[in-house]
Amino acid sequence: MDAGIEAPPAEKIRKQRMLRDVALLLAKHEVRNMKRWFEEFDRDIMLPILLGEIALHNIGTPSAGAVDGEGLPECTLKPCNAYSIAAATGLPRETVRRKVARLVELGWVSRRKNGHLYVSSGALHHFGHLMSSRELPDLIDTADRARRLLGD
């Protein structure tokens, strides 16, 4: 459609319904995932958010051109601390410190003496497996369904 010409009312209604259906599909997907994470982390929804932020800080940007033994971009883990995680999430530092202590207790995060935080190899293995076995197929299925609703 040209910028100055509006779609006929029936076409406009059809597009609105299509977008509503896709939004509903995506909302159901997100709520389903939040429930899973809520249960996975002892019913504390902040824990997976903080673990994710720590992992994203640690991984950072892969080294340009460098690859590991499997041909994947090589990543050197970068440290973060409660302050940087509080800044990234907008949560109070004390809340982040308390929640990080819980992640350390659970074995998902290691804290060095200097306060640097790293996602543990156990967390990477456990949640990497969950992502590949549960979340990724669900996400791909949801994306395929959204594409069909949008008519490709």
Question: Domain holding 120: CATH number?
Answer: 1.10.10.10
Task: Supply the pTM of this predicted model.
Answer: 0.69
1 part of a folded domain: no
Q: What's the CA gap between 30 and 50, in Å, rounded?
A: 17
Residue 69: pLDDT band with limits 50, 70, 90: low
pLDDT at 52 over 80: yes
Answer yes or no: are the C-beta atoms of 78 and 117 closer than 8 Å.
Answer: no
CA distances from 141 to 36, 56, 80, 115, 131 (A): 17, 25, 34, 40, 14
3 part of a folded domain: no
Q: Quick count: other Cβ atoms within 10 Å of Cβ 104?
A: 14
**pLDDT cut 70: percent of the chain above it:** 81
Number of separate domains in the chain: 1
pLDDT at 9 over 60: yes
70 part of a folded domain: yes
> What does the pLDDT average to over 29-46?
88
> What does the pLDDT average to over 71-100?
87
Q: What pLDDT, on a 0 to 100 scale, did the predictor assign at position 101?
A: 96
4 part of a folded domain: no
Lowest mean pLDDT among 47-61, 65-79, 98-112: 65-79
Domain limits for position 134: 9-150
pLDDT in tens, 94-138: 999 999 999 999 999 999 999 999 999 888 887 776 666 677 777
More confident residue, 43 or 69: 43
Q: What pLDDT, on a 0 to 100 scale, did the predictor assign at position 100?
A: 97
Residue environment code for 64-85, b if the CB has 16+ CB neighbours within 10 A, otherwise e: eeeeeeeeeeeeeeeebbbebb
2 part of a folded domain: no
